[in-house]
Amino acid sequence: MTALGPQLKPERFGRYLLLDRIGTGGMAEVFRAVLPGAQGFRQTFVVKRILAERSRATDFVDMFVQEARIGSLLSHPNIVQVFDFGNVGGDYFLAMEYLRGRDVQVLMRKLREQNLMCPVPVAAFIAHEVAVCLGYAHDLKGVDGKRLNIVHRDVSPSNIMCLRTGGVKLLDFGIAKAAGENTENTEQGLFKGKLAYVAPERIKNEPLDGRVDLFGLGVVLWEMLAGRRLFRGKSELETLNNVLEKKVKPPSAYRPDVPPSLDAVVLRALERKREDRYPTGYAMADDLEKVLRETGYHSRMLADLLREAFGSDLSKSQETLSTVTPELLASFSADQVSRTDELPTASAALPPPRRWKRIAAIAGTAAAALALGGLLLARGGGGKSRAQERAENAPAAVAAPPVGDPMPAEPAPRPPAAAAVPNPPAETAPEAAPENTEAAAKSERRRHHRSSGKHGQADRVTRGLSIDPFEEAARPGKK
């Protein structure tokens, strides 16, 4: 992945605001991005977007989807976390956690510029952290309890990130494969990964397992200790020949302060016969842990090395983030108000799924209201009920009980269906005196309770309750 200069103008991409492009490769470009939220909330991500010219190539899209699928399965503190995957306007993307630090390739280049070597304990610690997460990935099981046999296939300096807080993360499972996909074609440029870090069995197109990643990690560890490249030649052919045949000297041949125990770890990881290598990443990590104790590593060594090597440059990534003003976030959020629940989709013509649910809910409510109105009209609800008539004729009475005063419970037995309630001429009720309101309401409820046996059905219709005509027709005495 090649680093690029900042892109000063923020770009809107689905739910994300792309701030600057921090790298590009043969398959995708990588952006620093923020996801704005309410009340000025924002979260920083790395958005990896497939290149436009690759978006129509099935092989590259499948590889990108494979990275998303495998990334969703992996949850380990030493593996970069994938949070989102989608398609915006035909462009597939991944949203991953944003890491603040430098990868091993950049770190080693910086140390060479300053004529410095990577401290032995720091090199052993970086390799230890990668070995642990490789052991986790290689041993990961699916929901059926069977091992997935995930193989990274691209363990190299540019894919190992050293965090300024002192942690280590393995990046880019973009060419990782699971069980059943463990061979590849090395012809016609189909070989994937960096040639100087591939294991011999990959060159021979043999079935792969997790030990291919341990070989790549052995190359990285050797180069961190020796301060030079191991297998890279002047051409791809020379590089491949070096991987297969070049004699590998222990790192202590170039650096006397490397202990024999660490030489042994490196040489075992670089065995050309995979049967002679470490069987798992956990086994390699166990031996490296002994080296860490022997060399006196402590938790601040990596963070201190990054700060000494890069100084204030280590925080320059925050400059771009500081240019994201509240006004910019507010304008972005305001434009997204109607799309808050929208997920990235390849078809912009389709409304968001939750918007359809809201429309359906409103339509359902309107239909129910129309049906209830028709029912009331059909059952005589269009005129005044006898309860209303009695309320109007009663002095000092009100048309309805006060709010919060519950209606009496409906009696259990229901009378036969009654005829339509007549609609007498409207009468003007006397004005109710305020002091008699409560007494009139109680009197009305008593009268309503006494008359419910005779007019209960009509009152239920007036109050918007349902009746069962089949049950009424079956009652004794129904004519």
d(CA 95, CA 81): 9
Asked if residues 125 and 267 have their Cβ atoms less than 8 Å apart, the reply is no
Judge whether 313 counts as a catalytic residue: no
**Which of 242, 216, 247 lies closest to 231 in space, CA to CA?**
242
Question: How many Å separate Cα 461 from the centre of its chain?
Answer: 52
Structure tokens at 423: 């609609």
3-state secondary structure of 297: coil
| Rounded alpha-carbon distances, angstroms, from residue 3 to 19, 106, 107, 167 | 15, 10, 14, 22
Helix (H) / strand (E) element for 328: namely: helix 326-335
The answer to whether 153 and 213 are in contact (CB under 8 A) is: yes
CA quadruple 257, 261, 263, 265: dihedral sign: negative
Catalytic residue among 20, 154, 172, 263: 154
Pairing state between β 42-50 and 28-36: antiparallel
d(CA 359, CA 350): 14
Contact 169, 161 (CB under 8 A): yes
Residue type at position 221: L
The contacts of residue 173 (CB under 8 Å, 6+ apart) are 67, 70, 71, 74, 79, 137, 150, 152
Distance CA 125, CA 302 (A): 8
Q: Which is nearest to 165 in space by CA: 228, 101, 213?
A: 101
Radius of gyration of the chain (CA): 38
Nearest to 267 by CA among 289, 281, 255, 252: 252
Catalytic positions, written as ranges: 154
